[in-house]
């Protein structure tokens, strides 16, 4: 009586092992997966790149198909190889076309771009001069980043972070993301705190990513229409000159618009999103900015800091554009009898540098602010320029340093260069002191309130 036990399985395994090509290919696939474990080359599972995972999975599927064909009886191999090959090819081709097509549609159809920065159409609209701005009435509830506050963010009829219906404001604030302050609740921003302390009203015309030329457009198009008594022009130490230089070169034919394709693919690919859930990413592209940080309570923490650059040396054309924009804004305000104040916000690295605990000489040098802790070359140049114009400049570095000596944990958002609650509080205190010292301003506020009372 014939024995029908495990012999067919044994024969299939013997045929598979006997096919040296299949065995060799399987070993190569195994090595493809094992080598990164000992020689990491990516962040997925701490060792793989997206390329490693996609090629490795495809190669593993091919190896399985090859093993199945080799294990089949000789008379069935050709037909089985055809069926499995067609099925695998169709699966891979369909997945690739859908994946790449989705990325291309997302990149080009759902966003517009400026120097590698994406702007989703549902939240932003393109503007010929400003490049982008928020859509009127845009709203969201959430966090600007994982370490910021949970906020309600609403835009007015012009696309800025204000309640709707404001037609007149005594103080107009012009700036970038520091003024917009999406990281903190609206009532905690230095815009609202300053207005509340002075007993007046203000509008926030800050928008993330804007440089001085765009801020000048905002002042002309929106700010002056509020008939303000004072304009506060906020300058960001770490990127205003760079933003100004990029804007000045925006029409250059060689200017980069999209990010590199590999970065776009990893950002928007559904396949990569699935791989990230399976092979959890470890580390970030900012790991070289992670430092040991001594908190004011004596504990040692870790924090991402962005090393400072000498903005004057890095972006000389941007500095010239910055001066031109501030000079023109000051002249416009002076013609209309409007006070003009420059608010200089220092970088988190400059303010917090003496709390960094460098682990190597290279790290110490990288996080040492150019020109020393204070004043920076940009601070000196901007102060000289403001003196020439005859307008006050508020340098927040001394106030921030004093506040940091008491509590350095809440001046800036952790792992982010933007202001936290204490930073906005200090900025508001400095602005209130400056504006109260201007007797004309306080007198105008009193006259305005009296006139409003008479009308009622």
Give dist(CA 62, CA 40) in Å, integer. Answer: 24
CATH at residue 444? 3.40.50.1110
- Looking at 88, 109, 130, the residue that finishes a domain is 109
Residues 6 or more apart in contact with residue 30 via CB below 8 angstroms: none
Contact 419, 411 (CB under 8 A): yes
Task: For residue 18, give both structure tokens.
Answer: 């006997």
Give dist(CA 357, CA 72) in Å, integer. Answer: 64
The answer to whether the bond into 375 is cis (omega within 30° of 0) is: yes
Give the orientation angle of helix 270-278 with respect to helix 74-109, to 10 degrees: 110
Give dist(CA 417, CA 430) in Å, integer. Answer: 20
The partner residues of 232 in beta bridges, in order of sequence, read: 173, 341
Residue 269 lies in a domain: no
Quick one: 43 and 182 in the same domain?
no
Place of tokens 């990516």: 42
Quick one: 439 and 304 in the same domain?
yes
Nearest residue to 115 (alpha-carbon basis) of 133, 132, 103, 134? 132
- Looking at 61, 84, 109, the residue that finishes a domain is 109
Give dist(CA 374, CA 196) in Å, integer. Answer: 31
- Looking at 44, 76, 109, the residue that finishes a domain is 109
Give dist(CA 449, CA 167) in Å, integer. Answer: 16
Q: What is the pLDDT along the chain (456 residues), one digit of tens a residue?
A: 455 555 555 554 545 445 677 788 888 999 999 999 999 988 898 899 999 999 999 999 998 988 888 888 888 888 988 999 999 999 999 999 999 999 999 998 898 888 888 899 999 999 989 999 999 999 999 999 899 999 999 999 999 999 999 999 999 999 999 999 999 999 999 999 999 999 999 999 999 999 999 999 999 999 999 999 999 999 999 999 999 999 998 876 555 577 888 889 999 999 999 999 999 887 666 678 889 999 988 899 999 998 888 899 999 999 999 999 999 999 999 999 999 999 999 999 999 999 999 999 998 888 888 888 788 999 999 999 999 999 999 999 999 999 999 999 999 999 999 999 999 999 999 999 999 987 666 555 555 555 555 555
DSSP string over 22-66: HHHHHHHHHHHHHHHHHS--SSBTTTB-HHHHHHHHHHHHHHHHH
Model pTM score: 0.84
**Domain range enclosing 247:** 117-258+284-455
Quick one: 129 and 247 in the same domain?
yes
300-304 and 131-134 as β-strands: parallel, antiparallel, unpaired?
unpaired
Q: What 8-state DSSP symbol labels residue 281?
A: B
Residue 266 lies in a domain: no
Give dist(CA 442, CA 66) in Å, integer. Answer: 84
Question: Structural domain tally of the chain?
Answer: 2
């Amino acid at each position: 009586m014939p024995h029908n036990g495990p012999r067919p399985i044994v024969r299939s395994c013997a045929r598979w092992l006997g096919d040296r090509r299949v065995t060799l290919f399987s070993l190569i696939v195994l090595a493809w997966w094992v080598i990164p474990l000992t020689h990491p080359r990516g962040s997925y599972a701490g060792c793989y790149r997206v390329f490693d995972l996609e090629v490795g999975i495809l190669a593993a599927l091919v190896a399985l198909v090859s093993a199945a064909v080799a294990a089949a009886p000789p008379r069935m191999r050709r037909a089985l190889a055809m069926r499995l090959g067609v099925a695998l090819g169709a699966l891979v081709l369909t997945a690739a076309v859908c994946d790449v097509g989705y990325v291309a549609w997302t990149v080009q159809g759902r966003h517009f771009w400026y120097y590698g920065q994406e702007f989703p159409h549902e939240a932003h609209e393109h503007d010929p001069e400003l490049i982008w701005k928020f859509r009127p009435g845009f709203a969201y509830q959430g966090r600007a980043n994982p370490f910021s506050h949970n906020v309600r963010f609403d835009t007015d009829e012009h696309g800025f972070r204000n309640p709707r219906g404001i037609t007149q404001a005594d103080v107009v604030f012009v700036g970038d993301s520091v003024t917009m302050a999406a990281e903190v609740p609206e009532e905690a921003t230095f815009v609202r705190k300053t207005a509340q302390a002075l007993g007046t009203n203000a509008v926030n015309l800050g928008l993330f990513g804007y440089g001085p030329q765009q801020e000048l457009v905002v002042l002309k198009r929106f700010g002056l229409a509020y008939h303000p008594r004072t304009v506060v022009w906020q300058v960001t130490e770490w990127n205003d000159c760079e933003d100004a230089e990029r804007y000045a070169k925006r029409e250059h034919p060689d200017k980069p618009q999209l990010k590199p394709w590999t970065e776009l693919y990893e950002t928007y690919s559904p396949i990569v999103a699935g791989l990230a859930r399976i092979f959890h990413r470890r580390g970030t592209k900012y790991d070289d900015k992670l430092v040991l940080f001594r908190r004011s309570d004596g504990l040692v923490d870790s924090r991402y800091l962005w090393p400072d650059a000498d903005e004057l040396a890095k972006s000389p054309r941007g500095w010239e554009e910055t001066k031109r924009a501030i000079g023109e804004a000051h002249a416009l305000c002076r013609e209309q009898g409007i006070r003009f104040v420059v608010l200089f916000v220092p970088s988190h690295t400059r303010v917090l540098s003496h709390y960094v605990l460098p682990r190597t000489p290279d790290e110490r040098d990288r996080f040492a602010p150019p020109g020393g802790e204070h004043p920076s070359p940009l601070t000196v140049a901007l102060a000289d320029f403001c003196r020439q114009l005859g307008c006050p400049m508020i340098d927040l570095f001394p106030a921030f340093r004093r506040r940091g000596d008491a509590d350095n944990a809440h001046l800036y958002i952790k792992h982010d260069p933007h202001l936290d609650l204490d930073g906005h509080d200090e900025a508001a205190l400095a602005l209130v002191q400056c504006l109260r010292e201007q007797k004309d301003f306080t007198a105008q506020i009193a006259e305005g309130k009296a006139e409003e009372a008479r009308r009622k």
